[in-house]
Amino acid sequence: MTDLLQDLDQLATPRTNWTREEAGEVYRAPFNDLIFAAQSVHRKFHDPNAVQTSQLLSIKTGGCAEDCGYCNQSAHFDTGLQASKLMPLNEVMQAAEKAKAGGATRFCMGAAWRELKPRDEDAICEMIEGVKSLGMETCVTLGMLEDGQARKLRQAGLDYYNHNLDTAPEDYGRVISTRTYQDRIDTLDRVRDAGIHVCTGGIVGMGEPETARIGLIAELANMSPHPESVPINHLVAVKGTPLGDSKPLDGIDFVRTIATARILMPKSMVRLSAGREGMSRELQALCFLAGANSIFVGEELLTTPNPEKHEDFDMFGALGIEPMKLGSVELSPAE
């Protein structure tokens, strides 16, 4: 067993100084050692049989100015996706009420924007206030934020802001050219400074080298404090996007990515995010064993399919997993 995985008490002490070598040592450890360590660390901070459920809604679809190579909402690629205007408040509220009735505890509203424009701020704040009034946790993902905007969203009742690093810095230029890695970090700093919980993660299965998956997790784990919420997406490959022909990542490598995230960020919620539609129940079960403790529920992510609710509840039943209830997740920093 690698030395790093030996001392479980030490491993469970959050650190923000992970070297790439150490992160790689964890990722590449013998699979059984890795999973044992990840599950042991997981049990120190989380209920091993409880999974949090978030539901997404695309409040503004398509026509985006950015060129993210994985995304069917970019105006740079022809994927046949129909673009839409910002959704009216009453439709957002209907979707949020339905999500709450279905058991989701967090409602995450996503817009295909490069950045939040001042003209849309009030409409977004009304959506946040509305969802918050239902007693759900609120999350939005709206692209880059300027100084002051994060504070305004916080005042409206925003609990989480999602803004992903997507991949390791050295792999980033292959995927996106219209905004920099530093732009993303700057937005995350503004979110953190405004007292909003940070939700940031990335995408694997984009044809990246193993070192990029390790590098992504190390970058996330070296944020201080750790992000409260870490979505690990498997690419949903969409025809017409530059990455649309990517070969799916081997399942064992996907589980290694989740386990490494759990070990390097012991207290964070690790979300098994996009791409579950293409995964067996057995692969998802391994992800939960490796420390994933959150999923997106509902038959659609933003624009692509997600497993049906009954499939997820059947899976939870088979595994003896309880969905977390509203109010059971503490809103405190992860580190």
Which residues are near ligand SAM by CB under 6 A?
A: 64, 70-71, 110, 112-113, 141, 143, 163-164, 166, 203, 233, 235-236, 238, 274, 302
Token pair for residue 60? 């503004």
Binding partner at 303 among ligand DTB, ligand SAM, ligand SF4, none, C-beta below 5 to 8 Å by kind: ligand DTB
Binding partner at 74 among ligand SAM, ligand DTB, ligand SF4, none, C-beta below 5 to 8 Å by kind: ligand SF4
The number of angstroms, rounded, from the C-alpha of 88 to the middle of its chain's C-alpha atoms is 25
- Per DSSP, the residues of 118-141 read GGGHHHHHHHHHHHHHTT-EEEEE
CA–CA dist 211, 254 (Å, integer): 13
125 given a catalytic annotation:
no
Q: Which is nearer to ligand DTB, 24 or 179 (CB)?
A: 179
User: Of the listed pieces 177-185, 213-221, 278-286, 297-305, which binds ligand DTB according to CB under 6 A?
Assistant: 297-305
Q: Which of 68, 184, 192, 287 is catalytic?
A: 68
CB of 183 to ligand SF4, least distance (A): 11
CB of 307 to ligand DTB, least distance (A): 13
| Separate counts of helices (H) and strands (E) for the chain | 12, 10
Token pair for residue 170? 């050295």
- Residue 127 and residue 109 in contact, taking contact as beta carbons nearer than 8 Å: yes
287 given a catalytic annotation:
no
User: What CA–CA distances, in Å, run from 104 to 88, 146, 281, 295?
Assistant: 21, 30, 20, 10
Residues tagged active-site: 64, 68, 71, 108, 139, 199, 271
Q: Which residues bind ligand SF4 (CB under 6 A)?
A: 64, 66, 68, 71, 73-74, 112, 114, 143
